């Protein structure tokens, strides 16, 4: 049995973490959508949130994740998975970039 090369292991981890992040992020956005629209059906970010959920589900590229509201939710999900911006392994940025790139 051959050992997996570190680069291959990291790529597999990035792929697995990206999928875990995608699922958790969709749940967070759906929860935000329910909460904000329950008190204000005309919530200003409603359409953006719905489109972002659709982009994530369909693995389409999106630039919407950046920004104070969406970015904070992403940071929270990544933090829950043990990933922090500035970690030396680079997984945080790799996962974020894959999500934004629609992969």
State the total domains in the chain.
1
Report whether pLDDT(9) > 60. Answer: no
Domain range for 34: 6-101
The pLDDT assigned to 66 comes to: 66
Model's pTM, two decimal places? 0.80
Q: Is residue 92 part of a domain?
A: yes
- 64 falls within a domain: yes
- Is 22 a member of any domain? yes
Write out the two tokens for 80.
């829950």
Task: Specify if 1 maps to a domain.
Answer: no
**CB proximity list for 57: less than 8 A, separation 6 or greater:** 26
Stretch 38-48: mean pLDDT: 90
Is 58 part of any domain? yes
Characterise 4 by phi-psi region: left (phi > 0), alpha (psi -120 to 50), beta (else): beta
Do the domain assignments include residue 13?
Answer: yes
Least confident of 11-15, 45-49, 93-97: 11-15
* Residue 79: half-sphere exposure toward Cβ, Cα within 13 Å: 6
Report the pLDDT value the prediction gives residue 1, as an integer from 0 to 100. Answer: 45
Q: What's the mean pLDDT in 16-31?
A: 92
């Amino acid at each position: 049995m051959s050992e997996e090369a570190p680069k291959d292991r990291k790529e597999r981890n990035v792929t697995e973490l990206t999928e875990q992040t995608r699922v958790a992020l969709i749940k967070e956005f759906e929860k935000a959508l329910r909460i904000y629209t329950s008190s204000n059906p005309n919530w200003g970010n409603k359409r953006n949130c719905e489109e972002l959920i659709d982009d994530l589900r369909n693995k389409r590229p999106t630039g919407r994740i950046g920004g104070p509201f969406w970015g904070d939710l992403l940071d929270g999900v990544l933090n829950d998975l043990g990933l922090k911006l500035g970690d030396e392994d680079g997984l945080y940025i790799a996962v974020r970039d894959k999500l934004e790139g629609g992969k």
